[in-house]
Amino acid sequence: MNLSIRHIRTGLVVLLSVCCCLACAGRSYLIVDYAVPPATDALKGQTVRIAMVDDRVETAVLAPQAAARFTDFADRYSLAWVMPNKERVLAGEHDLLTALAETFKKRLTQMGAVVSLRSHPEIPVLTVSLTRMTVDLQERKWIVDLGYEAVLRKATGAQAKETVRGNAERVRVIGRKGADMVLSDIFSDATNRLDLVKMFKQAQLLP
C-alpha cells in the first residue's frame, strides 16, 4: 500500500513537471499588465519627449533557471493597460525598451502631459536609462529585479535626476502565470514610483 502511494506521488510530480514545461516552452514573450494610476492634471500643459537608454551590464533578462522554463523566449513583451476601473486594454507586443517607453508615456499622459515624438530644442527630454532587468527562479519563487535612472532636462540646462530600483517575487505556479504576474508588479511599481511632479519642479518646468 505504501509503495503504491509512493508511486502515485512520484507520478503526480512528474506529471506536474511535464505540464509546467509544456506550458512554458511554446511562448516567445512575457505578459506585462501595467496598473495605470487614476488620471490627474498634475502635468497639464507640459510637453516632453522620452528617450530610452540601455545601460545594463547584463543584457540577458532571464537567469539560467528562468530561461530553462522559457526556452522559446525572444525578449518580447505583450503589454496591456489595467485601467483604474480594472478594464484591461491591449497595448501591443514590444521589445523591452519600447515596452518601458510606452509605460512611461502612459503614466505621463495620465497626468495630463503631452508626449512628443519629435526632437526640438524647446521640448524637455525625459531620459530613462535602464540599469538592471532580470527575471529569476529561485526556490520555487519567481523574482524580478528592475532598476533605472531618470533624468529630465530642458533647453536652459536645468535638470532633475532620480534613481529607482525595485524587486518583487511570487511563488511559482504551473506554467507562466507567476512570472507574468511578478513582472507586471515590478513594471507597475517601478514606473509609478517615479516622482514626476517633483522632477518637473526641480527642472524648473513647474512652479
Is residue 115 within 8 Å of 44, Cβ to Cβ?
no
24 closest CA partner among 185, 173, 141: 173
| Confidence grade of residue 11 (pLDDT, cut at 50, 70, 90) | very low
Residue 175's region, left for phi above 0, alpha for psi from -120 to 50, else beta, is left
Is residue 193 within 8 Å of 37, Cβ to Cβ?
no
CA distance between the termini of the chain: 77
pLDDT for 168 equals 85
| Confidence grade of residue 5 (pLDDT, cut at 50, 70, 90) | low
pLDDT at 18 over 70: no
| Confidence grade of residue 65 (pLDDT, cut at 50, 70, 90) | very high
81 closest CA partner among 108, 102, 52: 102
Average pLDDT over residues 162-167: 94
SS3 40: coil
pLDDT at 12 over 50: no
Average pLDDT over residues 126-131: 98
Average pLDDT over residues 126-132: 98
pLDDT for 13 equals 44
C-alpha cell at 82: 489595467
Average pLDDT over residues 19-24: 46
118's enclosing H/E stretch is: none
pLDDT for 177 equals 72
Q: What percent of the chain has pLDDT over 70?
A: 85
| Confidence grade of residue 131 (pLDDT, cut at 50, 70, 90) | very high
Is residue 28 within 8 Å of 99, Cβ to Cβ?
no
Task: Report the amino acid identity of residue 175.
Answer: G
Q: What is the pTM of this model?
A: 0.85
pLDDT for 158 equals 87
What are the φ and ψ backbone dihedral angles of 22, each rounded to 5 degrees? -65, -40
pLDDT for 155 equals 83
Average pLDDT over residues 78-90: 97
Between CA 54 and CA 128 the distance in angstroms is 9
